[in-house]
Structure 1
Amino acid sequence: MRKKTLHDLKDLKGKIVLVRVDFNVPIENGKVTNNARIVAALPTIEYLIKNEAKVILLSHLGRIKTEEDKKTKSLKSVAMEFTKASTHAINFVAATRGKKVEEAINNMENGSIMMIENTRFEDVKNNILVNYESKNDEKLGKYWASLGDLFVNDAFGTAHRAHASNVGIAKYIKESAIGFLIEKEIKFLHDAISEPKRPFIALLGGAKVSDKINVIDALAKKADKVIIGTAMCYTFHLAMGKKIGKSLAEPEKVDLAKKLMKKYQDKLVIASDSICTKEYKDVKGKVYENIPDDLMGLDIGPKTIKVIKKELKGAKTVIWNGPFGVTEFKNYQEGSKAIAHELINLKDAITIIGGGDSAAMAIKMGIEGKISHISTGGGASMEFLEGKELPGIAAINNIN
């Protein structure tokens, strides 16, 4: 069933529209350091403003486990960054419910925007962890739904979670739809795995095989090659009988790695060499295939880079999730840089980079405008690729 989109919502003028966005952005010294997620949500918000709706933005920011966490996790600085990015004024209300919020809504004009405080402030009350937002408290979802006429979910980054601010609101509000961002995310990811142009190459980084076992399995069934690098490859190295030194691995998943290598022996490509160092520090390392006991691998080596370049040559669909190396260290960015360089030079190819660390890495490298699509949701994109139903999208009204 197709989900309702913004274009399916009629007569928006004067309607109060609750919009769940994903403004979970990095903040340092009270300032947003990367506004990509804010910018990604603007088309939906601009459309609603143009149609003279009253827009109420809801988002989380980080995790709230104590009252102390609230001091550094307010959305106030995010609201300020939104004004800079959009040039629209926004009324930030330092509350998640109650009289302050209700009065602010009553005073809204058509085409105006307000933002309530971090939805996860509802997870802690009087220093007690209650998780009203994160556990989809029915009363909270019902309350937020009562504030508006319509609900738009445009937070792909939390679509794989059932929270009060997405699933809860959708359950109790009269009409709901997905925003332009989620619509775009679904299209790119769906097309990539259901009707991929070939050769179709998947690149998977990250730390744990256990985190991506279902993704490896799902992609290996559809892709021509699945390339595994960074820390995740060391569990496979153990399965091959190679020495990995102090590198991060999951010894308890070795049997699983062996099964995957046997099942997909013609498709899996495992990084073979690594740039290694004694400590987890940004210092120059050395290349090894069998890593000495006192060293750890922090990036893929030149032999692996050469193999990846060969596999990517002529690729028509590429999905990349997880950096290939510790990219926060300058000395261990070469693997990811080499892959990025290959992707932006592919001709007539669909290139997709997964969210989370991968998206941050792509933006840091300045390649976001040269990639077909950079997902705003790391966990959500992986679960979508696994074929799982995403609660935040499933809760939205279907087209009759």
Structure 2
Amino acid sequence: MASFRTLDDVNLKGKRVVCRVDLNVPVANSVVTDTTRIDRVAPTMREILNKGGALIVIAHFDRPKGKVIPEMSLKPIASALEKALGHPVRFVFTDWQSQPKVDVKPGECVLMENTRYHAGEEKNDAAFSKMLAGLGDIYVNDAFSAAHRAHSSTEGVAKLIPAYAGRAMEAELKALGAALEAPKRPVIAIVGGAKVSTKLDLLGNLVKKVDALVIGGAMANTFLYAQGHGVGKSLAETDMADTARSIMKTAEESGCAVILPVDAIVANEFKAHAQSHDYGVDAIPANGMILDLGPLSIDRIRSAIDDAHTLVWNGPLGAFEMEPFDAATVAAAAHAAERTKAKKLISVAGGGDTVAALNHAKVAHDFTYVSTAGGAFLEWLEGKTLPGVKALEETEK
């Protein structure tokens, strides 16, 4: 991974710091109901304030599409931000139609209005980027979750004033670099989810970078079908069979072992606690649905994790939202967590369903790093360049 500057590389005292964070958090009745994203960026903001910076926080919220929509204002977020920081936060409304005059002194914090109130934000408009740059002396990006978007607040402004990675961004980039770019081998990837078609780029990139690839979830059914197994009434993309075979061929050529289920938990209906049985993958009943991996498959995954020094995980292994079809996901997650705690494994996971699955297994806190970035994490796994990160790398060192 190319080098990038962090808060260790700048004297913040007396500087006006434009800090881009992700405040796209759930709000109900003007109250933030989940502060996870706020809590992650609070250390960066607190450090800026403690080091004498004048903090100007910018972020987007929802999709107002360039219009001032009161329900999409960041104003309700200010109190939650203030509580997380333990420091006063002053909200500054602006419709972004002209350069806002922001009176903020060193050690003070202001939260600006939704950047998406300006139509130029999502277009990476040069004039709006200049407006944002005009707010401060330096720019700090602590929003990895928005780094896959080439917007004014994530990329444009970073090219106009000195740019630095915030602590959450720094931690994410270091974790991702350790997972795939300079990993301790062997490396294993676990990829689950419903559709092969949504993860083609991901699978295509991983088979060239990892030593073993575990495929689970409904997408494993597509690979089983491609191998000639019957999958009954299971969710499967039969029209993707040639693509699945192509991925397995690329994996073989790259020296990547593809680990597919050898047995599965099958039910006749998709509901929690539906009557189910374990079948070998060569004996799936015609009226059955594969809802989870079987015990033999779980043992194979545990063994593969034992052989690895680095794990990258995206997507659950079965219908984890419904008991007892969460067994494989919970068992694999618990084993990975145990190996991580024993300092025998570096474990990096991300993606919405993945975070939910690890929380369900009560082991998310035991992984080396769990990314809440969603789309940005997936695009990184796919090997794509993230504009928000690239802009930091391109800054004059």
Q: Normalised by the shorter chain, which TM-score bucket? A: 0.7 to 0.9
Given the alignment of the two structures, is residue 382 of structure 1 paired with residue 378 of structure 2, yes or no? yes
Q: Which residue of 2 aligns with 1:270?
A: 260
CA–CA distance in 1 between the matches of 2:395 and 2:170?
A: 13
C-alpha separation between the residues in 2 aligned to 1:15 and 1:308?
Answer: 51
1:111: Cα distance to partner?
A: 1.2
Whole-Å Cα distance in 1 between the matches of residues 28 and 260 of structure 2? Answer: 37
Aligned to 1:102: 100
In 2, distance between residues paired with 1:274 and 1:26? Answer: 36
Paired AA for residue 268 in structure 1 = V
Q: Which residue of 1 aligns with 2:16?
A: 16
Partner deviation per Cα, 1:82-138 (whole Å, 9 max, x = no partner): 223232221223445257x835x22x2321212223333435xxxxxxxx3223233
1:313 counterpart SS class: helix
Q: Tell me if 1:194 matches 2:184.
A: no
Q: Give the direction of change, closer, same or farther, for the CA distance of 1:383–1:66 in structure 2 (3 Å limit).
A: closer
SS in 2 for 1:320: strand
1:230-245 alignment runs, 5 A limit: 230-245=217-232
SS where residue 317 of structure 2 aligns? coil
Distance change in 2, residues 1:58/1:231 (3 Å): farther
CA distance in 1, matches of 2:271, 2:74: 33
Quick one: distance in 2 between partners of 1:292 and 1:67?
54
The amino acid of 2:371's aligned partner reads S
Give the match for residue 260 of structure 1. 247
Distance 1:167 1:314, change over 3 A: same
- Following the alignment from structure 1 to structure 2, what is the Cα–Cα distance between the partners of residues 194 and 92? 40
Shift of 1:264: 2.2
Of residues 190-199 and 304-313 in structure 1, the stretch that sits farther from structure 2 once superposed is 190-199
Q: Which amino acid aligns with 2:39?
A: V
> Does structure 1 residue 85 correspond to structure 2 residue 73?
no
Q: What residue number does 2:238 align with?
A: 251
Q: Output the amino acid matched with 1:309.
A: R
SS in 2 for 1:19: strand
What's the counterpart of residue 141 of structure 1?
A: 129
User: How many Å apart are 1:51 and its aligned residue?
Assistant: 1.3
TM-superposed CA distance for 1:176, in Å, is 1.2
Decide whether aligned partners of structure 1 residues 164 and 398 sit closer, same or farther in structure 2, where only a CA change above 3 A counts: closer
- In 1, Cα distance between equivalents of 2:233 and 2:63: 31
Cα 1:73/1:262, change in 2 over 3 Å: same
- Stretch deviating more after TM superposition (57-66 or 197-206): 57-66
**Alpha-carbon shift at residue 14 of structure 1 (Å):** 2.8
Distance in 1 (CA, whole Å) between partners of 2:213 and 2:395 is: 34
Q: In the aligned structure 2, how far is the partner of 1:58 from the partner of 1:327? A: 36
**Could you give the per-residue CA deviations for residues 342-366 of structure 1, whole angstroms, max 9, x where no partner exists?**
0111032111112333224334443
Match of 1:5 in 2: 6
Among 113, 118, 124, the residue aligned to 1:122 = 118
The one-letter code matched in structure 2 to 1:231 is A
What residue ranges of structure 1 are gaps of 5+ in the alignment? Answer: 124-131
Q: Give the 3 Å change call, closer, same or farther, for CA 81–307 of structure 1 in structure 2.
A: same
Q: Is contact 1:160–1:380 with CA below 8 Å preserved after alignment?
A: yes
Aligned to 1:129: none
Paired residue secondary structure (2:14): coil
Alpha-carbon shift at residue 226 of structure 1 (Å): 0.5
Q: Give, in angstroms, the shift of residue 143 of structure 1.
A: 1.7
Percent identity over the alignment? 38
* TM score, norm. by length of structure 1: 0.86
**Alignment-mate amino acid for residue 168 of structure 2:** L
Write the deviation string for residues 288-341 of structure 1: whole angstroms up to 9, x where unpaired.
Answer: 546555554443333322221121124321111112233333443222211211
Distance in 2, Cα, partners of 1:247 & 1:67? 44
- The 1:94–1:316 alpha-carbon spacing in structure 2 relative to 1, beyond 3 Å, is same
2:148 to 160, 183, 187: 160
Q: How many residues align?
A: 386
Q: Find the aligned partners of 2:27 and 2:358 in 1 and give their Cα distance.
A: 18
Could you tell me which runs of 5 or more consecutive residues in structure 2 were left unpaired when the two chains were aligned.
none
**Comparing 308-317 with 288-297, which one deviates more in the overlay?**
288-297
Matched, 1:333 2:326: yes
- 1:158–1:245 Cα change, 3 Å: farther
SS at 1:114 equivalent: strand
> In the TM superposition, what is the alpha-carbon distance from 1:222 to its structure 2 partner?
2.8
Out of 74-83 and 228-237, give the one that drifted further. Answer: 74-83
CA contact (8 A) 2:67 2:118 kept: no
**2:276 is the alignment partner of 1:286:** yes
Aligned to 2:395: 398
